[in-house]
Amino acid sequence: MPAESATAIPRPPARTASAPVLTGAQAVVRSLELLGVTDVFGLPGGAILPVYDPLMDSSELRHILVRHEQGAGHAAEGYAAASNKVGVAIATSGPGATNLVTAIADAYMDSVPIVCITGQVFSTLMGTDAFQEADIVGITMPITKHSFLVKRAEEIPGAIAAAFEIAGTGRPGPVLVDITKDAQQAEVPFVWPPKLDLPGYRPVTKAHGKQIQAAAQMLAEAKKPVLYVGGGAIRARASAELLTLAETTGAPVVTTLMARGAFPDSHTQHLGMPGMHGTVPAVLALQEADLIVSLGARFDDRVTGNAALFAPNAKVVHVDIDPAEIGKIRTADVPIVGDLKDVLVDLEAAFRSQIASEGPDTEAWWSYLDGLRTEFPLGYAQPADGLMSPQYVISRIGELTGPEGIFAAGVGQHQMWAAQFIKYERPNAWLNSGGAGTMGYSVPAAMGAKVAEPSRHVWAIDGDGCFQMTNQELATCTINNIPIKVAIINNSSLGMVRQWQSLFYDGRYSHTDLNTGHGTVRIPDFVKLAEAYGCLAIRVENEEDVDAAIMLALATNDRPVVIDFVVSAEAMVWPMVPQGVSNSYVQYARDHSPSFDEEA
């Protein structure tokens, strides 16, 4: 993101009167207000308690009391991912802070801008194993863009302002601000705006012109180009510029799991999602390309398969805001460091100047790719056990909700089906945990997204395993009037692990049966559980009842809705490229389950 983006620090005029004297805790609240923050997610405790007192008096900050700090972190992520703003989570010291770690790691992997503010024990007690002491700065150092330890009250405004600057500029990501209790209690003059001192933090936003020209020339000469689009396109708010470049060049487009919605699914140049569970045209387009233009993607192993065998004949143009990503996995013939939104504008202009009246000759390439689309359409088989197809349920949720909805998925089979069978036409409509693969992400992330975008329908598409990790945030939703919709794709098992056991472990289902949906015993009964949280709860076991349940959920806006969709455990995610093999080895199942050769 460019430094001038909406997440950068607002610059109110300096105070002309003498600076007011505030406690450090009051400075925390006032700094958030001046930064334009309107919503925060948190849970109080002893070491952060001084902040919660002035927070009660703020008319500008809405604090949402979560039931678990992990929920606060994921809610801040969902808020940020849906709105392009910086999300905020607050927790106390020790276990309060460590409960944020999973969400912080998740945000780091997926480049989500959040600021986590934690309380710390008195500075005089640090290092003594004091009650609820934990070195959260040390713990989070590998999974944050930066971690601040603040021991003096006068440093608080500067630390918080710097945290927002770092989180929201360059490659977005999480920043931690850990504040000792004595710093929160001390009184000091409050000076705003603070002078930012960020030595060494200089995100590169403007790409080198010669690299742009080289990339444009390669695009003009390529016979088999592919635009490989990653989540960076969404973080950079570059969807419009991407559309322009794609249409100017005529190149096929693939969007990764993190980039769903960055380019419209309905567009004729879109081949779908690449990777382990990608469409056959998308997977083979990358594998057989002579030029890959990587736009905000990082050549993740789930996309490349065996990286040594990935796209052996392709030259690579790699565009990323983070220079550390370029060349990390695949050597770039043309490396371009810069803000993707600006790079796309420059690259499109350079491409037009490279070509005369006609563009590159890609007719044979498109003929081949269109043949793959015809031969291998995305589809699914009806389960043989007579239970509902999860793909059908998810596709109906997408169709009845429409492209203006927001869909936050957990992790597992339902995540892949939601990425495959819901059509995404706009950015920020698809939220998921891509890099970390965090079970429990969906419900709190949907909650945060609904706070950020209250006028949109927000679905948490969850599995029965994921749902049991963070469903307590339904209480938060009910009490705070956050009417999300939750679709539990209940196959009574840890579905993705079970799929791997089916394919690679001779059907030995070691500890993957959850006993949540099939038969007479349901532990827990999700309908009763949801009702206990004050939700409208529905169970659906027949396909003829699916639409009515979804429509009722969409019409209900006075409380959360939970639908327990009881689906087949036999359904699998196809296509599938087994881990560690070449993407030339594509398996696709439509009417039957293929056999897999692990040695292929």
How deeply is 556 buried, as exposed, middle or buried, from its count of CB atoms within 10 A (0-12, 13-18, 19+)? middle
Residue pair 184/153 in contact (Cβ under 8 Å)? The answer is yes
Name the amino acid, one letter, at 86: V
Place of tokens 């659906």: 540
Closest by Cα among 229, 167, 226 to 198? 167
Q: Cα–Cα distance between 480 and 465 in angstroms, integer?
A: 25
What φ, ψ does residue 148 adopt, rounded to 5°? Answer: -105, 135
Q: Which of 1, 26, 41, 69 is catalytic?
A: 69
Residue pair 563/484 in contact (Cβ under 8 Å)? The answer is no
Classified as helix, coil or strand, 29 is: helix
Q: Cα–Cα distance between 68 and 87 in angstroms, integer?
A: 17
Q: Cα–Cα distance between 316 and 211 in angstroms, integer?
A: 12
Alpha helices, DSSP H, located in 91-204: 95-98, 101-110, 136-140, 156-168, 181-185
| Paired strand residues for 398 | none
Helix (H) or strand (E) holding 36: none
Q: Which of 145, 181, 450, 485 is catalytic?
A: 181
| Paired strand residues for 178 | 118, 149
Rg of the chain (C-alpha set): 25
Q: Which of 131, 141, 363, 504 is catalytic?
A: 131
Is 181 assigned a catalytic role? yes
Classified as helix, coil or strand, 538 is: strand
Q: At what angle do helices 413-421 and 390-401 cross, to 10 degrees?
A: 50
Is 496 assigned a catalytic role? yes
Name the amino acid, one letter, at 368: Y
Residue 209: which residues within 8 A CB-CB, separation 6 or more?
346
Phi-psi region of 492 (alpha: psi -120 to 50; beta: other; left: phi over 0): left
The percent of the chain in helix, strand and coil, each rounded to the nearest 5, is 40, 15, 45
Quote the strand ranges of 313-439, DSSP E. 315-320, 334-337, 406-409, 430-431
Q: Cα–Cα distance between 350 and 214 in angstroms, integer?
A: 9
Closest by Cα among 26, 22, 63, 24 to 181? 24
Give one DSSP letter per residue of 42-75, joined into a string.
E---GGGHHHHHHHHH-SS-EEEE-SSHHHHHHH
Structure tokens at 307: 């990286």
Is 131 assigned a catalytic role? yes
Residue 322: which residues within 8 A CB-CB, separation 6 or more?
170, 171, 337
Q: Which of 109, 218, 469, 496 is catalytic?
A: 496
Cis bond upstream, residue 575 (ω within 30)? yes
Structure tokens at 403: 């492209």
Q: Which of 33, 126, 132, 376 is catalytic?
A: 132
| H, E, C per residue of 424-468 | CCCCCCEECCCCCCCCCCHHHHHHHHHHHCCCCCEEEEEEHHHHH
Structure tokens at 257: 């799991």
* Residues with a known catalytic role: 69, 131-132, 181, 496
